[in-house]
Structure 1
Amino acid sequence: MEMLSAFAGYAVLGSILSAIFAILHIIGVWNVFKKAGEPGWKAIIPFYNTYTLYKISWSPMWFWISLMGTLLGAALLSFATVTVCVVIGAIIELVVFVVRFVAIYRLCLSFGWGVGKYILTILFAPIMLMVMGFDKSVYAGPVTN
């Protein structure tokens, strides 16, 4: 019984921490959007917020490539008994993973941030997006090179 109580306590704590990080993420993205000239409300709509992040940092086309790659990779990975499908699905998911890292890097470059803040954004996204939204950095537009 004690173990069940401890598990329930950890579950509640995890839920509270997840809610806090989600709220921090929304606040950060809301302010990043405002700095980039986009309406802040886009930060609360799933998928549309990611589309908008790709739009202000790189190109919306890469959002669609990332989304389709995720769906295709997940579909192929679901065929766990077919080795070729699993390998191809894993490769597609790895490519999507790299595309997302590049998108985050380009977002950092769009606000004049360097590699150090990029690494911190990878590790602590909700906090660094709040920093990006509230600091004095200026949005310079999508990175084209």
Structure 2
Amino acid sequence: MNTDNSPSVFGPGLGFGSGLVFAVITIIALWKVFTKAGRPGWAAIIPIYNVYVLLKIAGRSGWWLLLLLIPLVNLVVAIIVSIDVAKAFGKSGVFGFFGLFLFSIIGYLILAFGGARYTGPAVAR
């Protein structure tokens, strides 16, 4: 019997459902971003592989995936990749930091359903 009476941010009993909603919204946004970048959309639902695809969209090597496993280094790498993804879609570094790193669900929805077009990795230009 569960005797935990602590309130949830989303009300009583809504913790799991709200997490599921955020996960589905994120998958939908990533799926659309991946297809805009010419990558398979289904990659958004495969853990770890979706990060690899995001690294490729950003123009970074797949080896950067290992850097994401190192504490504190992963924060720096995640910021760099977010900025690179933003620039690959013609957005600014500020959008990459605030939109894709800090508020990722909103940022990826903007990339997915806004007018942003994939122009290729900024690293290669």
State the TM-score, normalizing by the size of structure 2. Answer: 0.83
Q: Tell me if the contact between 1:66 and 1:100 (Cα under 8 Å) persists in the aligned partners.
A: no
What is the CA–CA distance in structure 2 between the aligned matches of 1:21 and 1:101, rounded to whole Å? 21
Counterpart of 1:122 (choices 98, 101, 105) is 101
CA shift for structure 1 position 116: 3.6
The Cα offsets for residues 64-119 of structure 1, whole Å up to 9 and x where unpaired, read as 3324xx1xx4xxxxxxxxxxxxxxxxxxx112210111001100111011134221
5 Å-filtered alignment, 1:4-19, equals 4-5=4-5, 7=7, 12-19=13-20
Q: Matched residues in 2 for 1:124 and 1:17: separation?
A: 16
* Cα deviation digits, residues 3-38 of structure 1 (max 9, x gap): 745558957312111111101110010000010001
Helix, strand or coil for the counterpart of 1:31?
A: helix
CA RMSD of aligned residues (A): 2.2
Of 78, 94, 113, 2:91 maps to 113
Q: Percent identity?
A: 33
- Return the alpha-carbon distance in structure 2 between the equivalents of residues 32 and 143 of structure 1: 16
The change in CA–CA distance for 1:113 and 1:26 in structure 2 (over 3 A counts) is same
Q: Please, which runs of 5 or more residues in structure 1 have no aligned partner?
A: 74-92
- Choose between structure 1 and 2: higher helix proportion: 1
- Are the equivalent residues in 1 in contact too, given 2:99–2:108 (CA < 8 A)? no
Letter in 1 for 2:73: V
Greater CA radius of gyration, 1 or 2?
A: 1
Structure 1, residues 49-77: CA drift from partner, whole Å, max 9, x if none?
0000001112233433324xx1xx4xxxx
Q: TM (normalized to structure 1)?
A: 0.72
Q: Is the 8 A contact 2:58 2:123 kept in 1?
A: no
Q: d(CA) in 2 for partners of 1:4 and 1:47?
A: 33
For 1:64, the equivalent position in structure 2 comes to 65
Which structure's relative contact order is higher, taking Cα pairs within 8 Å and 6+ residues apart?
A: 1
